[in-house]
Structures are given as C-alpha cells and as structure tokens.
Amino acid sequence: MHRADKNISLVLMGLAIYFMWHAKELPIGWVPSDGPGGGAFPFWLSVILFFSALGVFLSALRASKQKANIPFFEPETVSSVTKVSIAIFVTVAIMATLGTYVALLLFLFWYLRIFGKHSLKLTAIITLITPVFVFFFFEVTLKILLPKGITEPLFFPLYNLFF
C-alpha cells in the first residue's frame, strides 16, 4: 500500500505543478471590479493539492514496513467508491439541464439520506443550506455565474436584488 501511496502522491504532485504552471497564464490575484482572476482557483487549489500529496508522500516514507502489505482497497470500499463516483457523474451530467443548485441538492440528498443513512433533519438542513451558500459565495461574492439550466427564470428576482 505504501508503494501505491508514494506513486499516486508523486503523480498528484506532478499534476499540481502542471496545473499551477498553466494557471499562471491567467491572473491569479484579485482583479478590481471583477473578482478573482481566471487562474486564481486553479492555481490555489493546485497549491493545496501539491501540499496534500506531499503530506501523503512523507507519511508513506515514514510508515512502518509491517503495514506495507495492507491492500490498497478493501472489497467493500470498492462498492462504496463506485456508487459515489456514479452519483457524482450523474450530478455533473444533469447540471446543464437542471442547474447547479438543483443537481447539488439532489446529490446531497442522495449522499446523506440514502447512501449515508443520516437523519431527515440533518439531511434537510444541509441540502437546503449548501446550495444557498454556494449561490452567495460564487454568484454574489465572487461574481462567478454557475449554470442554472431550466431554473434560470427563478433567479431573476435574486439578480435584481444583488446585481
């Protein structure tokens, strides 16, 4: 397992450097009256990715040899990862039609209530608050419009209020 950790973390560090290099072609700082530059999110997320992968790599170097033969995936883990991967793929696929906020709400409901078997109260709170937070963070604060699909007309009153 440590070999897989080392190899994957090296690949991720390489990808992070590649992404940072490409992100530098766009402004990565704050552009007055426009918000963050086009390269800001890719660059800073790549920095986080690089240091996270570096942490995994250093941890794998320090790990004991006894745990080196632990399988990379337990059999039940493969099933969970597959289900969540399919759900994420479906979420991304429906974003253009139903919009980011509806897709996010549906994914969170599925993930928390059906997959995670959390209470209806917790599921309702998180699935309702998260899309609202995402709207205010991206669209109002950063002025980055996200796809809304068929729900676009529902946002016109909010546009009039905030823009």
- Which residues lie across from 30 on neighbouring strands? 36
Contact 144, 138 (CB under 8 A): yes
Query: pLDDT tens digits for 58-67?
Result: 998 888 666 6
| Angstrom distances, CA of residue 130 to CA of 71, 108, 134, 138 | 35, 9, 6, 12
* CB within 8 Å of 158: residues ≥ 6 apart: 135
pLDDT tens track for 21-34: 999 999 888 888 87
Domain positions in the chain are: 1-72, 77-163
How many whole angstroms separate alpha carbon 155 and alpha carbon 94? 18
